[in-house]
Amino acid sequence: MQDRHRLDLDRYLVPFTLRQVPQYRYDVVVLGSGAAGAVTALSAAAAGASVAVVCKERLGTTNTAWAQGGVAAVLGPGDSVESHVADTLSVGCGLVDEHVARAVVEGGPEAIAHLRGLGASFDALLDGTYDLSMEGGHSHPRILHARGDATGAEIQSTLTKALLDHPNIDTFENVFAIDVLTGDDGRAVGVLARNALGELVAYGASQIVLATGGGGQIYRETTNPTIATADGVAMGLRAGAAVRDLEFVQFHPTCLYIAGAARVLISEIVRGAGGVLRDKDGVAFMADAHPRADLAPRDIVSRAVSRRMAETSSTSVGLDLSCVDRDPHEAFPGISRICRFFGIDIAHDPIPVRPGCHYMIGGLQVDLEGRTTVPGLWAAGECASTGLHGANRMGSNSLLEGLVLGRTIGERAAADAAAAGRPEIYSVADRDHEDPPPGVQVNIADLTYSMKSLMWRQMGVERSEAGMREALATFDFWARAVRSLPLDDVRAAELVNMLSVARLATFGALERTESRGTHYRSDHPLVNDARWRAHLAQSPEFEGDVLRRVSFERQPVAAAAIEAAPEGASA
């Protein structure tokens, strides 16, 4: 059974020699400029560190910028830290680490004040108090928005300006990070990357922060932008870092579905304002699926939508906004503008929606300060597994997590950098791989689409052992072909990263023989607390410079979190 967790990944994807590669030297290098990465960089710079922020595309092209929803924070009357923590524990289905949830929730008001101090503006009522709304899983209105459905854009533009204005921060755009470099002692010492001209560059630092976002592009149906190819998780794994809970992938239940068009998220704030899901016959079906109907947790809504689509032989369901208590065009201007482009009047026409991959709940295993299992390597935001989300992320908690924990990570990384000094970077030997026979070529685009389709079929909203075993056998076949490729093309390296993380997620989903939160197995439909009341960590095992396989470890969670998922309860 050990070989079913076999990977055979090269430690480094691209060889290089120092005499041919320019080096930039900093105290802290942050990969990614979304909420988590930007706040981390600003915090480290404020502590006196020299910081490089390396971006895959433009500085403001991030998952954060796409966020239509808001930030969950305890800011309104009647709400409390205890209530927000309790909601997070409940939605997380027994796997939330309570001490992490409490630290993040308690830091919410200060994080919002920090953003406002940087210039961010949030929606307010006439009396000047915050205009807070509801989302699925929350028991109180605590979702803070900017310009209705443009919260992410407001936060990103504010943080981008702050990065550009800070004298201790240099930003590098359109640079693709390839690998985390480590020394002989296993400590992180830098990053190898490829710039917009296709040239290799190295960034040396004793503290490397991965804030690269998620991996939604692993799936055919996703709300994520094209940059979300799981690069940070794959880089961290190849550097020796443990990953955790990758079987938990959140599917957002309401993605705009129009054949041939890119999937666009229709935010949960629409249902929070009164939007109703209806099947093709106009029947509102969510009341039969959960007591909170359309405001049930996202995993439940996603499964209910998928099942109703199957029962009615339809490709989508409709999201009806005619019951919203204010003009939908004014309340949700961004959504209105997108739908109008496709001839949909959201005040009268149901919006065609279906589930899509939205958020990687698992990621690189970190402690509360953001440290991975590799010295000098940190992770923040969606590519990190902090334990906040458990088995099912509650809406709008992720931006909060990045804003709160990013400040802690930046401070600690700056302190560690001051104590460690600047390490040396060493050349990397050529990859040991077999060249394909003459005339044999691998079509990167075709293989990428095939992988995305396979993940959607076998690792989507519902899974089974037979489907996952089929997926793993196919992944093994593809991985052998891809390993022979010269990885001087960014798309080839992205494919290696996506295939690596897709396999890890499938390993975890096959190992976890229960249904909990976003992980639903048709062959094991109940929660199994006796066996699976734990996080599932995967640690890389190397033979020389090749990552051969991963080993598994179950990590129990705190007793307070366990009570949220009683034995035998349905997922």
Distance CA 406, CA 568 (A): 37
Whether residue 558 contacts residue 96, with contact meaning beta carbons closer than 8 Å, is answered with no
Distance CA 133, CA 131 (A): 7
Torsion of CA 15, 18, 19, 25, to 10 degrees: 140
* Beta bridge partner(s), residue 133: 143
In 3-state terms, the chain is what percent helix, strand and coil (to 5)? 35, 20, 40
Distance CA 486, CA 482 (A): 9
Q: Which residue has the tokens 């997620």?
A: 505
| Contacts for 321 with CB less than 8 Å, ≥ 6 apart | 270, 274, 275, 328, 346, 347, 350, 351
Give the H/E segment covering residue 319.
strand 317-320
Whether residue 400 contacts residue 111, with contact meaning beta carbons closer than 8 Å, is answered with yes
Phi/psi of residue 417, nearest 5 degrees: -65, -40
Identified catalytic residue from 238, 298, 308, 463: 298
Cα 267-270-274 angle, rounded to 5 deg = 155
Token reading at 337: 């503008």
Terminal CA-CA length for the chain = 27
Distance CA 94, CA 321 (A): 33
Distance CA 7, CA 181 (A): 20
* Neighbour-count burial for 3-29, b at 16+ CB within 10 Å, e otherwise: eebbbebbbbbbebeeeebeebebbbb
Whether residue 279 contacts residue 316, with contact meaning beta carbons closer than 8 Å, is answered with no
Report the amino acid identity of residue 112. Answer: I
Token reading at 342: 């496709």
Distance CA 185, CA 260 (A): 50
Cα 120-149-129 angle, rounded to 5 deg = 55
Torsion of CA 162, 167, 168, 173, to 10 degrees: 60
Whether residue 306 contacts residue 313, with contact meaning beta carbons closer than 8 Å, is answered with no
Token reading at 103: 């630290």
Nearest to 266 by CA among 253, 279, 280: 253
Token reading at 461: 């909203």
Distance CA 277, CA 284 (A): 6
Question: Annotated catalytic, 263?
Answer: no
Distance CA 104, CA 155 (A): 18
Distance CA 306, CA 414 (A): 46
Residues annotated as part of the active site: 298
